[in-house]
Amino acid sequence: MKKLALIGRNISHSKSQLMYEKIFKEKIDYALLDYKSSKDIPSIKELLDKFMGVSITAPYKDHFLSQVEVENDISSLGAINCIAYRDGRYLGTNTDYLAVLEILQDDQLRGRNIIVLGDGAMSRVTKLVLDKLNLKAIFLNRKKDGDLNLIDYNSIFCKNLLVINSCARQFSFTADLPPDSIFWDYNYSHIENNSFLKDKCNYVDGIDLLFLQAKYATQFWKLDNK
């Protein structure tokens, strides 16, 4: 049985195991390694001796950064979400980047006016993808712009708007948007956002992003053909 793990904080809600079992079409041994502090995280050697692949989520995406080799496209992010041991080397990548890149190339999203909410690791991922695709966006965050729910989004773009929410799950969006807007939530199963937005615009849950992230992780771990 394949043994995988997820490192993070407050991750009991995770649906990653379901995604991997959907990909592999079989049950797997999946460990949720929930740590209150980075000081409690085992060594990279200990983890990869035990598990065939390890994923990392907030707030620990930079924890192993100095201990792994990272591809050039990913290195500028300062965040990785997958680690592996192969050919005597510890490797890291960011499959969120690959998943966001795939989704943003969808024809449905082409030509949209883009606003990105948040300034964390996923916001940096989004900026890197947008730069690669030569797409412009306005980036808003609470530190710089205050309460994101008090912003008049209609005055920024009155139509054809794509809002990408990279904020943490604790943030709930309650502002008004143009009715033809798409609100792409990087969070999945966010009850408050879905309830507020589902009848006001096209609300896109983050479950597809999670699935694609998992698909690229299996490829990174060389498990996609096993």
Q: Are the C-beta atoms of residues 9 and 34 closer than 8 Å to each other? A: yes
Amino acid at 83: I
Distance, in Å, from the CA atom of 207 to the CA atom of 70, rounded to the nearest integer, reads 26
- From start to end of 40-80, where are the E strands? 53-56, 69-70
Distance, in Å, from the CA atom of 122 to the CA atom of 125, rounded to the nearest integer, reads 5
| pTM given for the model | 0.92
Q: What pLDDT band is residue 226 in, cutting at 50, 70 and 90?
A: low
The answer on 176 and 78 residing in a single domain is no
Asked whether residue 180 is domain-assigned, the answer is yes
Q: Are the C-beta atoms of residues 82 and 218 closer than 8 Å to each other? A: no
The answer on 104 and 72 residing in a single domain is no
User: pLDDT per residue over 49-104, tens digit each?
Assistant: 999 999 999 999 999 999 999 987 788 899 999 999 999 999 999 999 999 999 99
129: buried, middle or exposed (CB in 10 Å: 19+, 13-18, 0-12)? Answer: buried
Q: Are the C-beta atoms of residues 165 and 186 closer than 8 Å to each other? A: yes
Asked whether residue 225 is domain-assigned, the answer is no
* pLDDT at residue 107 tops 90: no
The whole-number pLDDT of residue 87 equals: 95
The answer on 122 and 67 residing in a single domain is no
The answer on 102 and 58 residing in a single domain is no
The whole-number pLDDT of residue 74 equals: 87
Q: Are the C-beta atoms of residues 153 and 116 closer than 8 Å to each other? A: no
Q: State whether residue 159 is helix, strand or coil.
A: coil
Q: State whether residue 140 is helix, strand or coil.
A: strand
The whole-number pLDDT of residue 215 equals: 98
CATH number, domain containing residue 32: 3.40.50.10860
Asked whether residue 226 is domain-assigned, the answer is no
Pull the structure tokens for residue 184: 């792409």
User: pLDDT per residue over 108-119, tens digit each?
Assistant: 888 999 999 999
The answer on 88 and 118 residing in a single domain is no
Q: Domain count of the chain?
A: 2
Asked whether residue 124 is domain-assigned, the answer is yes
Give the pLDDT mean for 195-208.
Answer: 97
CATH number, domain containing residue 157: 3.40.50.720
The answer on 199 and 110 residing in a single domain is yes
What are the CA-CA distances from residue 59 to residues 11, 28, 41 (Å)? 11, 25, 12
User: pLDDT per residue over 125-182, tens digit each?
Assistant: 999 999 999 999 999 999 999 999 999 999 999 999 999 999 999 999 999 999 999 9
